[in-house]
Structure 1
């Protein structure tokens, strides 16, 4: 249920996922985690990611979906290859994006982070539209959570080493980080 204090971004279409809960009391949100996802793996644009985050994935549509049918996952924001932005979890609530994770001596990164998923894979470059949208939402997230600085932005791979690789080698970190540092 959406509450009056929930933080939703005006640039995003809101699809409220059930896969969220409250952050621990007095938790400072000070980390931004960049992810990538494609469903089925390596395929784009089928609407399956929305179905996954909304717990309505048709497990008969692809053999891979049967492997992930029990997952209850979400992210705060998802950016399609076209640059379209969908928000699944209000920024002030805890999304279930990081899984078992650690950052700078702290565990359970979901507690203190914002998760942004990009539609992509380790093998294919991300689109210009995605970088533009990611720049926009990053600036909005930082506006709400100024403790998230350039050095408090990381990858899923960095917080879950050995378990995750995203957003992968095709993600252009210098391009992204320079874009959020540049004046608008």
Structure 2
């Protein structure tokens, strides 16, 4: 797996979205944030996560989508349960994944982080294919952005405690870190 000079992964399916902007000048990419998402909640292999990140979700397609009307969010990458990596935003750009957040006293984590979404829920075990893809991607990210160290790989729950819980209790941090 190779990440080019603008932060595009050679093996990822590319789905460029418009939900990103420029990172602040001089900000070094130094944090990796892991998330989970499924739409509707607990349902996998639907088109709705892609629709959300691409800005074209039909908010009438499911009753739980009403809160998504007008929401503009993105992740750098989304890892499906089969292990396929979909990239929405080049790593050199600021994706809108962390929201109100803080890491080691610094707010606005989107400015200096990469956001990876795993298709899943807090309580559903992730697949081995997802761990394999995430571990390969993480190794490539650490190689490209050496300021991302093990201590700077966190869950959304760690940078937005009380507001977010993902990647959840089902994420096996020891298994993930063991392969890095």
Shift of 1:5: 4.9
| 1:62-77 correspondence to structure 2 within 5 Å | 62-77=62-77
Q: Counterpart of 1:158?
A: 158
Equivalents in 1 of 2:11, 2:141: separation in Å?
12
Query: CA-to-partner distance for each residue in 1:29-76, whole Å, 9 max, x for gaps?
Result: 100000000100111111110000000001121011111122100000
Report the TM-score when normalising by structure 1.
0.94
- Give the SS at the match of 1:115: strand
Equivalents in 2 of 1:102, 1:67: separation in Å?
24
Report whether the alignment pairs 1:35 with 2:31. no
Bigger drift between 29-38 and 60-69 goes to: 60-69
Shift of 1:78: 0.5
Q: Counterpart of 1:149?
A: 149
Long gaps (5+) in structure 2: none
- Number of matched residues? 177
- Give the SS at the match of 1:161: coil
Q: Counterpart of 1:81?
A: 81
Shift of 1:6: 2.1
Q: Which ranges of 4 or more aligned residues in structure 1 deviate by more than 3 Å?
A: none
Query: CA-to-partner distance for each residue in 1:150-180, whole Å, 9 max, x for gaps?
Result: 1110000000011000000000000001111
Equivalents in 2 of 1:142, 1:159: separation in Å?
20
Equivalents in 1 of 2:15, 2:165: separation in Å?
26
Long gaps (5+) in structure 1: none
- Give the SS at the match of 1:176: helix
Equivalents in 2 of 1:137, 1:89: separation in Å?
14
CA RMSD of aligned residues (A): 1.0
Shift of 1:143: 1.4
Equivalents in 1 of 2:5, 2:42: separation in Å?
37
Report the TM-score when normalising by structure 2.
0.96
Q: Counterpart of 1:90?
A: 90
